[in-house]
Amino acid sequence: MQKVYQIVAFAFCVLLPLAATAQSSTDDEYSARYNKCMDASGGVTVNMLNCIADEIAAQDTRLNTAYSDARSELSEERREALLAAQRLWISYRDANCNFYATAGGTLAQVVSNEYFLRETAQRATELENMVGW
């Protein structure tokens, strides 16, 4: 019974605020299709995970385009620095998202995937803003 209380406490104290932050901080970065999909998901975990997976694919494409565009405007030295930073960022994002996923339960799975989506969208925006520096 103690384990159940710990999981519930974790969900309310860590996962739910993270999920709320993830959604509110990037609504303008997500596609309209994603928002419609999530609205239509009915709160069903598998539907939500499918919506998130589709949006991750779209945001990953956006991220790769922004990275390529930013890289094309840099000197060789700065390109190498951006490559190193991008590799470290990917390692951080993946490790942090995996940490949230290990909390257990379907809520942790949704929150972890949403976090991955949020981080990817925010990094895409960051790289898009580098263009033209």
pLDDT one-digit tens code per residue, 59-82? 999 999 999 999 999 999 999 999
Size (the chain), residues:
133
If you search the block for the tokens 């974790």, which residue do you land on? 10
pTM above 0.85, yes or no: no
The residues, any chain, with a CB within 8 Å of residue 61's CB and separated by 6 or more, are none
Domain that holds residue 7: 2-130
pLDDT one-digit tens code per residue, 18-51? 444 444 445 678 999 999 999 999 999 999 999 9
User: Is 38 in contact with 53 (CB distance < 8 Å)?
Assistant: no
Domain count, the chain: 1
Q: How far apart are CA 14 and CA 101, in angstroms?
A: 12
Mean pLDDT of 91-105: 93
pLDDT one-digit tens code per residue, 28-37? 789 999 999 9
